[in-house]
Amino acid sequence: MESRRVSKKRLGLHEKTSKNVAKRRKGKGKGKDDSNTSDENLYGILNERNIKDVQFGMDKRFLTWYGSNVYFDNETEQLGIKDNGNSNTDSKDKQSTDVHSLTGKTRFWLDTLFVCEYCFKYSENEENFRLHAERCRHKHSAPGRIKYKSPQYTIRRVRGYKHTLFCQCLCLFTKLFLDNKSMYFKVNHYDFYILYETTTDLSMKNKPLGFFSKDLVSYDQNNLACILIFPPYQRRRLGSLLIEFSYKLSKLDDIISGPELPLSPFGLIGYLKYWSQIISWELTEGELCDFDSVTLEDISKVTGLRINDIIMTLKHLECIGEENRIYLDKLRRWLKTHERTFMIEDQYLLLDD
């Protein structure tokens, strides 16, 4: 398995700026057509998928969503990342990483990337992957400190500077499902909140379901840099759970906060859902329900949401009019037709430090 630190490059997830996009340069090829431009020296972004699918643990296989060259050596375009000029162990089997013309149109650099579902180390070689999977140390002990533990879910905080390799491998994996954030190898400025099922069942114990990262110091006061629920676990409201948790953290710090921009299309849908719920609940049943008139500032104070996010949500729900007048009746109706799905229970928060 790829196990060396990837300190030579950048890793972490950051906003892609238009200036950076302008720096895009053409991908080097490997049989790709000219339309496949890339940010490869900058952000690892490719315009086409280059890994066909991922074998995630022993029993889950799914397609990648986006191309990314961050798993590959820039010069040789073989799997593995050079660490200060040393050759890498994963590039021996050149044959299996060579270009495969699968559909006659799409050319993949790699058919299947094998990824450990406990620690995110990866290989192109199934045998190596199986050997690793049997003895991965995170199978028996997940990294980090527990920050939330309900009978259903556990969230652990993993410090980037302490568990560097784990966080770097997680970020590499994330890149296959998220293309609007860029990557850096410097994970030491981030905390990672990893979601697990609370269970003694060995088939699920210590298997991350998703995560979000958070800057240790965010000048924009973001409470979340990047969020991903791994494809097999999506649409189970786990993204909503992590978003809700991220606001618990910023409320603890007593700040008005929100996610790092830009949001991906799924990120936007997920956030609008959470924002709609928390705003309409506070206005109709929560702290603001007895107020005769409510300002955007009142909502922001009670929910911990940014005013821009509140306006976007109220517009989305068509519940805001001239001079920011809020249509409470309409919001009440919205809440009645939408199931309330808050998932974090305060009694299970473990946020002492």
Ligand X SMILES: CC(=O)SCCNC(=O)CCNC(=O)[C@H](O)C(C)(C)COP(=O)(O)OP(=O)(O)OC[C@H]1O[C@@H](n2cnc3c(N)ncnc32)[C@H](O)[C@@H]1OP(=O)(O)O
Q: Is 107:35 a contact under the CB 8 Å cutoff?
A: no
Q: Does 12 bind ligand X (CB under 6 A)?
A: no
Q: Distance (Å, rounded) from C-alpha 298 to C-alpha 304?
A: 10
Place of tokens 């409510």: 294
Neighbours of 271 (CB within 10 A): 22
Comparison of 43 and 129: residue with beta carbon closer to ligand X: 43
Q: Does 66 bind ligand X (CB under 6 A)?
A: no
By CB under 6 A, name the one of 178, 194, 288, 314 that touches ligand X.
Answer: 178
Q: To the nearest whole angstrom, how small is the minimum distance from the Cβ of residue 309 to ligand X?
A: 12
Q: Does 234 bind ligand X (CB under 6 A)?
A: yes
**Which of these segments, 87-95, 135-143, 229-237, 308-316, binds ligand X (CB under 6 A)?**
229-237
Q: Does 249 bind ligand X (CB under 6 A)?
A: no
Tell me whether residue 75 is one of the annotated catalytic residues.
Answer: no
Q: Does 220 bind ligand X (CB under 6 A)?
A: no
- State the residue number with the nearest CB to ligand X: 239
Q: Is 163:143 a contact under the CB 8 Å cutoff?
A: yes
Strand segments (E) across 198-311: 210-215, 222-224, 226-229, 258-259
By CB under 6 A, name the one of 50, 78, 168, 240 that touches ligand X.
Answer: 240
Q: Distance (Å, rounded) from C-alpha 236 to C-alpha 228?
A: 13
Q: To the nearest whole angstrom, how small is the minimum distance from the Cβ of residue 191 to ligand X?
A: 15
Q: Distance (Å, rounded) from C-alpha 125 to C-alpha 39?
A: 27
Comparison of 132 and 156: residue with beta carbon closer to ligand X: 156
Comparison of 132 and 306: residue with beta carbon closer to ligand X: 306
Q: To the nearest whole angstrom, how small is the minimum distance from the Cβ of residue 72 to ligand X?
A: 21
Place of tokens 């290989």: 123
Torsion over CA: 117, 119, 123, 129 (sign): negative
Place of tokens 């993993």: 158
Output the CA angle 13-47-228, nearest 5 degrees: 35
By CB under 6 A, name the one of 177, 190, 245, 334 that touches ligand X.
Answer: 177
Residues 288-317: x where in contact with ligand X by CB under 6 A, - otherwise, as a string: ------------------------------
Q: Is 6:168 a contact under the CB 8 Å cutoff?
A: yes
State the number of CA atoms in the 13 A half-sphere of 69 facing the CB: 26
Q: Does 236 bind ligand X (CB under 6 A)?
A: yes
Comparison of 140 and 236: residue with beta carbon closer to ligand X: 236
Q: To the nearest whole angstrom, how small is the minimum distance from the Cβ of residue 240 to ligand X?
A: 4
For residue 195, the surrounding DSSP H or E stretch is strand 190-197
Comparison of 1 and 209: residue with beta carbon closer to ligand X: 209
Q: Distance (Å, rounded) from C-alpha 306 to C-alpha 37?
A: 36
Place of tokens 């180390």: 121
Q: To the nearest whole angstrom, how small is the minimum distance from the Cβ of residue 73 to ligand X?
A: 26
**Which of these segments, 122-130, 224-232, 245-253, 303-311, binds ligand X (CB under 6 A)?**
224-232
Comparison of 101 and 341: residue with beta carbon closer to ligand X: 341
Which one of 260, 285, 297, 339 is the catalytic residue?
260
Residue numbers 251-280 binding ligand X by CB under 6 A: 259-260, 263-264, 266-267, 269-270, 273
One-character DSSP codes across 153-179: EEEEEEETTTSHHHHHHHHHHHTTT--
State the number of CA atoms in the 13 A half-sphere of 143 facing the CB: 24
Residues forming the site for ligand X (CB under 6 A): 177-178, 224, 226-229, 234-240, 259-260, 263-264, 266-267, 269-270, 273
Q: Would you name the residues annotated as active-site residues?
A: 260
